[in-house]
Amino acid sequence: MSRKQSNNQYLIKVNLKGNRGVWRSLLFRGDQTLDDLHEMIYLAFDRYDEHLYSFYFPKGPTRQNKSGLQPKEYASPMSLEEQNLPNDQQRFNAAKTILDELKLRVGQTFEYLFDFGDMWWHELKVVEIERVDPKGKFPIIVERHGESPQQYPDDDE
């Protein structure tokens, strides 16, 4: 499936929750998907073992807002195959959701959960949106801050 290339460019800061000293800045074109975002976070944090993941807008399920509404969940295609959800909960395919469709705003935050067993929570913040003619290969890791924690810390540490 071919998409028209977007002229929007998104700079997204990905912070490892519980460790504010570890974050990455990533640059994407607006025609890239949440699955592309997942793949770049996976690489940027030096992970080596794939797991299921989800993005939550505006916040994750542990932060139910005051009106009682559940956040929108955009899940990995593999986890959608195993959908055993309550009738009132709907999940969307991260591989079919492009950034431009999300109508992101500068300053907006949302969450990403990698590995439902080890629960690697991340907070993402839209730092900048520019209208440009993005050339070259995207996405790009713009900046790394702090050392990536081990995906599976040693038991004796």
Q: First and final CA of the chain: distance in angstroms?
A: 47
Give tens-digit pLDDT for 97-127: 999 999 999 999 999 999 998 899 999 999 9
pLDDT, residue 156, reads 47
Q: Are 125 and 109 in contact (CB under 8 A)?
A: yes
pLDDT, residue 51, reads 92
Residues of the chain with pLDDT under 50: 63-65, 87-88, 156-157
Give tens-digit pLDDT for 21-35: 999 999 999 999 999
Q: CATH top-level class for 8-145?
A: alpha beta
Q: What are phi and psi of 145, to 5 degrees?
A: -135, 125
DSSP secondary structure, 32-58, as one string: SBHHHHHHHHHHHTT--S---EEEEES
pTM attached to this predicted model: 0.85
Alpha carbon distance 62, 143 (integer Å): 29
Q: CA-based angle 14:18:23, to the nearest 5?
A: 25
pLDDT, residue 76, reads 94
